[in-house]
Chain A
Amino acid sequence: AQSVAQPEDQVNVAEGNPLTVKCTYSVSGNPYLFWYVQYPNRGLQFLLKYITGDNLVKGSYGFEAEFNKSQTSFHLKKPSALVSDSALYFCAVRDGQRRNTGFQKLVFGTGTRLLVSP
């Protein structure tokens, strides 16, 4: 079964500095990888995804993520953090290997809280 690990409960960064939020995954087949952001008392908002092709994926609000197959990682990055980026970030993976009943479900990590200080 697929799984996702987000090793950091919280990441602190000063505004203007680069940020990285880490994610590693485990799947049997090819991974479909996603990053979502959640603001307080709100649903999740899609940021970006990796399906195939270029290992560097660009998404919303200046975020990007790098797929590394050998390290089974999909870290979220941004060159210059903003205070408004402070939120809860979730990495998610779907195993591309189909079951008899269809595609496998999306599995989320436990989330990483990003705190950007002014």
Chain B
Amino acid sequence: EAEVAQSPRYKITEKSQAVAFWCDPISGHATLYWYRQILGQGPELLVQFQDESVVDDSQLPKDRFSAERLKGVDSTLKIQPAELGDSAMYLCASSPARAVAYNEQFFGPGTRLTVL
């Protein structure tokens, strides 16, 4: 069964350092999402891609976060510099159709970030 891949699974870093997370969606999925899930809360959308284009990045802290999906396949989320408040689970998800509201999203296992 096809799955969304993410790496690393765990990342520990010191504040002010740069970190990067990678996501490989299910093959053929045009839409890719990055979410942040703080402990005890539900996931919150950071950025949504349609192919290689950003559709929604309204909740992305653009002073320190960046995301790209250069060839419309895999994607990288970067934080520079990391802050203590960035400690969270970062989830990647993909969906099979183009911007269809009622398609379910398929989630990867996530990257747990701890900022010391």
Binding site for B on A (CB under 8 A): 4, 32, 34, 36, 41-46, 49, 51, 90, 92, 94, 96, 98, 101-106, 108-111
Contacts and interface: CB of A to CB of B under 8 A. Distances in A.
B110 A110 contact: no
Please indicate which of the listed interface residues A32, A98, A103, A111 has the most CB atoms of chain B within 10 Å of its own CB.
Answer: A103
Contacts of A111: 40-42
Contacts of B72: none
B14 interface: no
Nearest to A98: B101
23 contacts: A32-B101, A43-B6, A43-B93, A43-B107, A43-B108, A44-B91, A44-B107, A46-B104, A49-B104, A51-B102, A92-B42, A96-B101, A96-B102, A103-B99, A103-B100, A104-B101, A105-B48, A106-B45, A106-B105, A108-B42, A108-B43, A111-B40, A111-B42
Contact of B102 (A4, A90, A94, A98): A94
A34 B107 CA distance: 14
A36 B42 CA distance: 11
A36 B4 CA distance: 16
Interface in B100-116: 100-102, 104-110, 112
Contacts of A109: 42
B94 to A, nearest CB: 11
Interface in B17-42: 40-42
Interface in B48-77: 48, 55-56
A43 B40 CA distance: 14
A45 B102 contact: no
